[in-house]
Structure 1
Amino acid sequence: MSHTSPSSYLVWAILSSMLGIFLVYHLYSFDKFKCLKWNNGPYSGAFKRIMTYSYLLSVPLIMTYAIGFAVIKYKEGYISLELEGVIPTPYQLWSPLSRSAIFPLTLCFTFAWALEMVTHLEELCFWLFLVNAQGGQQDWFKSHYFKTWVVGTFIALLYMPLVTIFTRSDPLKNEAYTFLAGSLGSVSLTIWFMPILWTFPSFLNKLKSEGVDNNTVIRLTKFHELNTIRVLFRYLFTVPILILGIDGSRPHQHINENPFWTDLLTFIAAIGCIISSGITLIIFFPRSVETEIAARDASKERKRLRSQGSVLETRGTNIGTSISASDLPASYTHLRDSTFKPNHSLHDYSPESHHLSFHSDDKIALPDRDEYPLSEISSTAIRPNRKRGDDVELGGIGPPLSLTEANLSRHNLYSSVNPMVHSYTSPINMVYGGNNRSNASRLTFTRR
């Protein structure tokens, strides 16, 4: 910390700030920050809340650590020593205010790293469960993989802060042991991801042979590619920090006393940490550009219909008589031979019918301006055809799909693929859990 240059923390501060900006932009584009609400949708259980807030909290903690030390390092500057030359000012010569900020800032980094390990451990356990589970093993929350994640979460949230707290008397050792403890945990998790990356292509081929729809295979393929890139950058983050931690905990430091190697490893670690965290954000909150464009177009169309309905209603009220169909906009040219009486039949229209109402006096009621609300459009699910053994289950357009007990039993009989694969959108959206009977009504195809 005191032996690293101010520029090393400046790089951390700039990259972490860019990550914070990307976080805000991505969450706004994702659902306009609705995912931050405590009760966000029907599946906002404790698990989803923990995973969402633990990751989102780690980003501002990293920013606080990096920006805080960058300000201190540039404020304290450099000092010229007779035998060492010009070096960053040692922490012993810092002002009392700067020295008092060392432990709180290091503790922020410790908690951020612990929350990162909670995130990566959950993904590791979840995919080990999903890849190895058979069709009848459907309950993630009762599996030993989930229990492993719970135990690992408590360990990560306890041992990381305790290491920092117990070594706070010596700031240099405090930093070295914090780096060593965190990097050992993260390197272990990253290594455990390698078998998943190795077996995932065969897992995708298995899904194709089982007749899983193409959209699900595409989503999982995208996840596999992003996860491969993220694992690479996780190594770029953890290995340099591990080297600095091991060298700093030894009696004689060789790397930490070399300005070139110290700054180089610090720069590489900053790039690996920020890029891997950004990819985690994309995996946890995957955007669907097609859905966003469709929703945006539907909103524009609804506004257009609303404005046309308002114009017609105003003109009909001012005239006080029936309006000829020839006066209608171009979108209503099919009503050319009819007349319209807004104050007579407009309120007779039923939104459930979704068609124009005809009356005995040949007056026609215009559809209500809110006939096609965006909520109905976005909640309508398109169900693909699915192969179930030798049979094909036909899809369609309608409400979110629910598997009946018979269909679920048939799926488990013919398929060795866990049903959670079909509803997978991100590692924090667990919409399938519990026993078989309750699961039959909970397997849904969500919007995201």
Structure 2
Amino acid sequence: MSHTSPATYLVWSIISCVLFAFLVFHMWSFDRFKCLKWNNGPYSGAFKRVMTYSYLLSVPLIMTYAIGFTIIKYQQGFIEFKGAIIPKPAAMWPESARRAIFPLMLTFTVAWSMEMITHLEELCFWLFLVNSGSVQQNWFHSWYFRTWIFGSTLAIIYMPLLTILTRADPVKCEAYTFLAGSLGSLSLTLWFTPILWAFPAFLASLKSEGVDTATIVRLTKFHELNLIRIIFRFIFVVPFVVLGVDGVRPHSHINESMLWTDFLTMIAAFGCCISSAMTLVIFFPRSVEGEIAAKDARREQKRLQAGGRMAAPEHQRYSVVESQYEYPDDAGKASDPFSFPPGPAAPQAAYKEWDTIESGTRLPAMRPNRRRGGDLEMGGIDPVEPSRSDLSRNPSGKLNPLVHNFRSPIDLYNGEQPPTQRAFVRR
């Protein structure tokens, strides 16, 4: 802040604004901002709310910090000092600009604390996922979760507190804030590298256990994203470690060179924003297939409304299931008024068995078409979630059930994915 040029914070402002624009676009494409609601479905517990809001709030806070100092630095400009042109020191700023230093630094430290909360949760979660077996199934009862709670509380306290205690000297405040934050983030990043090293062997063990290909592909994608993200996190924290260590020493060498301060701060900006963007993709993974299906459903609804035709009748909503069976020629009619729509006897028996099955081989759950307000939600087949009895009969029962149904590090419900609704639930 004191030694860098205005162009440095201009780079931070541009990249952080690009990150914020990507966040808005991704959230809109993900679920039309529904994940930002306080009560987003029956499984929006305190953990998911903390993780969602702590990460999403850190992005606009970083953007506020960067834009604020960009405005101040360009207003103050440069001065001549001992035959060299340097950015005007903070001690020579007018009173209005000096009063803005502490709020902006506090904004940055709060954002950095939230980043560390996010990184610590990912570290603890991936350690839990790799090391837990079928006996330890609940993330919220594990010591990994307790470690995250303790570390998050420490991060949200010590970073702002350090900035508050050193606010009298802006240069000292900046140096100690950068050093404390970068050392904390560097330690989390270093602890994450063993997971990246062990994850290929973990994927190989999943294949040997007979885990389905879709799960292997999904976890492989997350592993590659984490690998790239860790590289950019090193690019983010290492420059701040160098600047922080040099800043707390009696004689600064790197901070007195505008070339090195600008270079290190600019590459740190790229590392911070790119790693944050990849965290967004990992926390809120988009399903392009589901998005295309939703668009097709809305387009079909508009076409039906424009043509003056009603939606498909009730007995046609189960054509997906009926097409999977062969009908005998002497098929009869169903007599139960609460059974499925009239049709051949063979499908009717299959429907009842599908709906009431509680043990044995688990069949996929069918979802009928439903009208949601002005939209038409298309039905389909829910993926089969392995029960405990299934896992005990299957070699993959040695693994945590969370492995089979993993979607996101924050989309958890008592250590597992939300249970699948029963098939053919009628409105």
Report TM bin, short chain: 0.7 to 0.9
* Cα distance change, pair 277–373 in 1 and its aligned pair in 2 (3 A): same
The CA distance in 1 between the partners of 2:166 and 2:400, in whole Å, is 46
Question: How does 1:38-117 map onto structure 2 within 5 Å?
Answer: 38-81=38-81, 83-117=82-116
Give the letter aligned to residue 216 of structure 1.
T
Does the Cα contact within 8 Å between 2:233 and 2:271 map onto a contact in 1? yes
* Cα distance change, pair 228–308 in 1 and its aligned pair in 2 (3 A): same
SS of 1:415's equivalent in the other structure is helix
* Cα distance change, pair 93–144 in 1 and its aligned pair in 2 (3 A): same
The CA distance in 2 between the partners of 1:109 and 1:146, in whole Å, is 26
* Cα distance change, pair 52–311 in 1 and its aligned pair in 2 (3 A): closer
Measured against aligned partners, the alpha-carbon deviations of 1:51-101 in whole angstroms (never above 9, x if no partner) come to: 0000001001100100000000000111112x1521111111111110000
Question: How does 1:146-225 map onto structure 2 within 5 Å?
Answer: 146-225=145-224
Match of 2:352 in 1: none
Give the letter aligned to residue 267 of structure 1.
M
Measured against aligned partners, the alpha-carbon deviations of 1:315-340 in whole angstroms (never above 9, x if no partner) come to: xxxxxxxxxxxxxxxxxxxxxxxxxx
* Cα distance change, pair 153–84 in 1 and its aligned pair in 2 (3 A): farther
Which structure 1 segments of 5+ residues have no match?
313-349, 356-369, 384-400, 434-438
Match of 1:415 in 2: 397
Does the Cα contact within 8 Å between 1:431 and 1:444 map onto a contact in 2? no
How big is the shift at 1:147? 0.4
The CA distance in 2 between the partners of 1:222 and 1:3, in whole Å, is 41
SS of 1:425's equivalent in the other structure is coil
Greater mean alpha carbon deviation, residues 414-423 or residues 134-143:
414-423
Does the Cα contact within 8 Å between 1:284 and 1:428 map onto a contact in 2? yes
Give the letter aligned to residue 204 of structure 1.
L
Give the letter aligned to residue 250 of structure 1.
R
Match of 1:393 in 2: none
Match of 1:353 in 2: 341
Match of 1:35 in 2: 35
The CA distance in 2 between the partners of 1:6 and 1:215, in whole Å, is 49
The CA distance in 1 between the partners of 2:405 and 2:369, in whole Å, is 30
Give the letter aligned to residue 275 of structure 1.
I
* Cα distance change, pair 271–442 in 1 and its aligned pair in 2 (3 A): closer
SS of 2:79's equivalent in the other structure is strand
The CA distance in 1 between the partners of 2:98 and 2:108, in whole Å, is 16
Does the Cα contact within 8 Å between 2:123 and 2:191 map onto a contact in 1? yes
Which structure 2 segments of 5+ residues have no match?
312-337, 344-367, 422-427
How big is the shift at 1:380? 3.8
Give the letter aligned to residue 107 of structure 1.
L
* Cα distance change, pair 371–222 in 1 and its aligned pair in 2 (3 A): closer
Does the Cα contact within 8 Å between 1:19 and 1:274 map onto a contact in 2? yes
Measured against aligned partners, the alpha-carbon deviations of 1:25-57 in whole angstroms (never above 9, x if no partner) come to: 110011110000001122100000000000001
Does the Cα contact within 8 Å between 1:176 and 1:245 map onto a contact in 2? yes
Match of 1:342 in 2: none
Match of 1:331 in 2: none
The CA distance in 2 between the partners of 1:75 and 1:47, in whole Å, is 43
The CA distance in 2 between the partners of 1:422 and 1:152, in whole Å, is 28
Within the candidate set 386, 389, 402, 1:406 is matched to 389
The CA distance in 1 between the partners of 2:57 and 2:263, in whole Å, is 28
Question: How does 1:116-155 map onto structure 2 within 5 Å?
Answer: 116-155=115-154
The CA distance in 2 between the partners of 1:80 and 1:172, in whole Å, is 20
Give the letter aligned to residue 74 of structure 2.
Y
Question: How does 1:253-264 map onto structure 2 within 5 Å?
Answer: 253-264=252-263
The CA distance in 2 between the partners of 1:169 and 1:56, in whole Å, is 30
Match of 1:245 in 2: 244
How big is the shift at 1:155? 0.5
Measured against aligned partners, the alpha-carbon deviations of 1:254-305 in whole angstroms (never above 9, x if no partner) come to: 0000111111101110110010011011111111111111111122122223
SS of 2:80's equivalent in the other structure is strand
Residue 284 (str. 1) matches residue 283 (str. 2): yes
Give the letter aligned to residue 389 of structure 2.
A
Residue 230 (str. 1) matches residue 229 (str. 2): yes
Does the Cα contact within 8 Å between 2:3 and 2:87 map onto a contact in 1? yes
Match of 1:389 in 2: none
The CA distance in 2 between the partners of 1:250 and 1:23, in whole Å, is 38
The CA distance in 2 between the partners of 1:96 and 1:42, in whole Å, is 51
How big is the shift at 1:204? 1.1
Give the letter aligned to residue 400 of structure 2.
N
The CA distance in 1 between the partners of 2:163 and 2:339, in whole Å, is 63
The CA distance in 2 between the partners of 1:372 and 1:146, in whole Å, is 38
SS of 2:30's equivalent in the other structure is helix
Does the Cα contact within 8 Å between 2:8 and 2:266 map onto a contact in 1? yes
The CA distance in 1 between the partners of 2:187 and 2:239, in whole Å, is 14
The CA distance in 1 between the partners of 2:119 and 2:310, in whole Å, is 56
Measured against aligned partners, the alpha-carbon deviations of 1:148-184 in whole angstroms (never above 9, x if no partner) come to: 0000000000110111111111100100000000000
What TM-score do you get using the length of structure 2 for normalisation?
A: 0.81
The CA distance in 1 between the partners of 2:154 and 2:370, in whole Å, is 51
Residue 427 (str. 1) matches residue 426 (str. 2): no
**Identical residues among aligned pairs (%):** 60
What TM-score do you get using the length of structure 1 for normalisation?
A: 0.78
Does the Cα contact within 8 Å between 2:211 and 2:396 map onto a contact in 1? no
RMSD of aligned residue pairs (Cα, Å): 2.4
Match of 2:353 in 1: none
The CA distance in 1 between the partners of 2:272 and 2:369, in whole Å, is 49
Match of 1:367 in 2: none
Match of 2:362 in 1: none
The CA distance in 1 between the partners of 2:268 and 2:199, in whole Å, is 27
How big is the shift at 1:402? 5.6
The CA distance in 2 between the partners of 1:42 and 1:311, in whole Å, is 32
Match of 2:330 in 1: none
